[in-house]
Amino acid sequence: MINFLLFPILITFFTGMILIFFQKNIFMQRSISLISLATATICAFLVMLQVQREGIQSVTFGNWPVPYGITMVADGVSTLLVFTSLLLAFFLIWYSFGSIGKEREHFFYYPGIMFILTGVNGAFTTGDIFNMFVFFEVLLMSSYLLIVLGGEKKQLRESIQYLLVNIISSALFVITVAYLYSVVGTLSMADISVKIAEINQPGIITTIAVLFLVVFGLKAAIFPLYFWLPSSYAAPPIPVLALFGALLTKVGVYAIMRTYTLFFVHDIAFTHQLLLIFAVLTIIAGCIGALAHFDVKQIIIYNIVIAVGVILFGAAQMNFDGLEGAMFYLIHDMIIKAALFMLVGIIIYITGTSDLRKMGGLMKKYPSLGWFYLIAAFGLAGIPPLSGFIGKLLIVQGGFAAGNTGTSIFILASSLIVLLSVIRIFLYAFWGKEGQTVQIQEKTYKQLYYPTVILVVISIVYGVGAEWVTPFMDAAAHVLTDPSVYIEAVMKGAQP
């Protein structure tokens, strides 16, 4: 089945369209979206196995010869990300049954989620730089819908800011692609890589590399460009926030990793050094934010910024260990961020406030929630058997191998601040004397509790069972370290 790799995109897209017809029927909306997400997840898993077994899969639309047609490529990196994002979306949708509220469900909440997944999976899979822009717009358009859905004052205020930032960055994206087209005369990512290698990356290409860093950096929230993220992400309700935090910034990170390992690999001394500096600054900015706030949402949101820095630090090393670590940490971060936002959502739901100083003593009533939170927090910081450890270890190994000793030690030290920032939530919310709580129904609590716990367990399995995941990560890092693997697979797929 040559078109099989498109299934994760197509299933979500068609489900989104079908769901629009059942606007008032909440039962149908919920069941259809759960079933189709489960199907899409299974398809993504099968594609992942297929890629592992048979090598990189690619489809070029309309039987055009390769550098001219739009190619969709499923390699180790993209299939891993597609599978993880669909898996997370499944649990997030389950979680939102209890928390999103009937009003939003009536006004196209589920179709919005489906379309955002179409965009995210498309952006991960596409092998054409302009097509990536189109998929970015698909996911941005649906994220505009989700961020404003509900129409509260705060949401309206923040969504205008979010829209403006993204419109400007989209215009920059178009401009950058235009520059790139004028220099290399092609849009297919594999072909661009070949052409840049032929002309050996003159200064103009390095300029374009920096422009790409600005464009994707706005989406990924790297250091000077993360200013919009904390307030915009705090506006929508928790399930939407979890979806954004787990997926949207990661699309930007993926795009930076892809362009910086496939296109701009001939002037590493400048481009990757710049990436490294920005990664470190991003971590510092994130740490300051995470420690400064007493609002649980803000603490976790700033942890997104820190994680982006860590992943990009791994990507900036340009050696096998660093890139494999970046992939490990990327997947880990998607899972654990979704889990943490869901846990924090339950805490907010129980206490009725997101201010740490008003919480306290939840350990007596909700002991299991407390322990799961503690495990997730340890996982985020990377305490050894848990999932954050192996990624960070590999990243730091890569850093030492590339000769960045000082910054690698800094990455290790930043884990302590991450741990401190999330443990603070544990200390304030679960220990101490009892704070305010809101009466909630047992059924709603269970609807929120089970998907969250399963996700935490998945993150534990991901960490403890790293052995099973390693072959997939090896394949991904292999593609990232050696562009010729990707180019050959795409170019070969072209011949009719």
Partner 1 sequence: MEIVMAFVCGFLFMAAIYLILSRSLLRIIIGTGLLSHGAHLLILTMGGLGGTAPPVLAEGVTDFADPIPQALILTAIVIAFGVTAFILVLAYRAYQELQTDDTTAMKGSGIDD
Q: Is 112 exposed, middle or buried (CB count within 10 Å of its CB: 0-12, 13-18, 19+)?
A: buried
Instruction: Specify the stretch interacting with partner 1 by CB under 8 A; choose among 151-159, 271-279, 319-327, 475-483.
Output: 151-159
User: Is residue 144 within the footprint of partner 1 (CB under 8 A)?
Assistant: yes
Bridge partners of 236, per DSSP, are none
Question: Measured between alpha carbons, how far is 456 from 238 in angstroms, rounded to an integer?
Answer: 17
Question: For the stretch 141-172, what's the b/e string if a residue is b when 16 or more beta carbons lie within 10 angstroms of its beta carbon?
Answer: ebbbbbbbbbeeeebeebbeebbebbeebbee
Which residue number, 187 or 455, has a Cβ lying nearer to partner 1? Answer: 187
Which residue number, 12 or 298, has a Cβ lying nearer to partner 1? Answer: 298
Q: According to CB under 8 A, which one of 168, 204, 409, 438 is a site residue for partner 1?
A: 168
Instruction: Specify the stretch interacting with partner 1 by CB under 8 A; choose among 129-137, 306-314, 333-341, 458-466.
Output: 129-137
Q: Are 473 and 324 in contact (CB under 8 A)?
A: yes
Please report the DSSP string for 350-391 in residue order. HHS--BGGG---HHHH-HHHHHHHHHHHHHHHT-TTSHHHHH
Q: According to CB under 8 A, which one of 179, 270, 371, 400 is a site residue for partner 1?
A: 179
Collapsing DSSP states into helix, strand and coil, what is residue 278? helix
Here's the x/- map for partner 1, 244-283, by CB under 8 A: it reads as ----------------------------------------
* Distance of closest approach, residue 168 Cβ to partner 1, in angstroms: 7
User: Is residue 228 within the footprint of partner 1 (CB under 8 A)?
Assistant: no
Q: In the chain, what is the straight-line distance between the N-terminal and C-terminal CA atoms, in Å? A: 16
Site for partner 1 in 337-356 (CB under 8 A): 355
Residue type, 196: I
224's tokens = 């000077």
Residue 59 phi/psi, 5-degree rounding, is -130, 135
Question: Measured between alpha carbons, how far is 341 from 422 in angstroms, rounded to an integer?
Answer: 12
Q: Are 276 and 407 in contact (CB under 8 A)?
A: yes
Q: Are 357 and 368 in contact (CB under 8 A)?
A: no
Q: According to CB under 8 A, which one of 206, 231, 319, 470 is a site residue for partner 1?
A: 231
Question: Measured between alpha carbons, how far is 385 from 459 in angstroms, rounded to an integer?
Answer: 11
Which residue number, 70 or 485, has a Cβ lying nearer to partner 1? Answer: 70
User: Is residue 163 within the footprint of partner 1 (CB under 8 A)?
Assistant: yes
User: Is residue 295 within the footprint of partner 1 (CB under 8 A)?
Assistant: yes
Torsion (CA) 366, 367, 368, 370 in degrees, nearest 10: 90
User: Is residue 288 within the footprint of partner 1 (CB under 8 A)?
Assistant: no
* Distance of closest approach, residue 421 Cβ to partner 1, in angstroms: 16
User: Is residue 474 within the footprint of partner 1 (CB under 8 A)?
Assistant: no
Collapsing DSSP states into helix, strand and coil, what is residue 65? coil
User: Is residue 170 within the footprint of partner 1 (CB under 8 A)?
Assistant: yes
* Distance of closest approach, residue 466 Cβ to partner 1, in angstroms: 37
Which residue number, 358 or 478, has a Cβ lying nearer to partner 1? Answer: 358
Instruction: Specify the stretch interacting with partner 1 by CB under 8 A; choose among 45-53, 126-134, 334-342, 344-352.
Output: 126-134
User: Is residue 156 within the footprint of partner 1 (CB under 8 A)?
Assistant: yes
Q: According to CB under 8 A, which one of 235, 308, 425, 490 is a site residue for partner 1?
A: 235
Instruction: Specify the stretch interacting with partner 1 by CB under 8 A; choose among 80-88, 157-165, 324-332, 402-410.
Output: 157-165
Q: Which of 42, 110, 95 minimizes the C-alpha distance to 451?
A: 95
Enumerate binding residues for partner 1 (CB under 8 A).
Answer: 130, 133-134, 137, 141, 144, 148, 151, 153-154, 156-160, 163-164, 167-168, 170-171, 174-175, 177-179, 181-182, 187, 230-231, 234-235, 293, 295, 298, 355
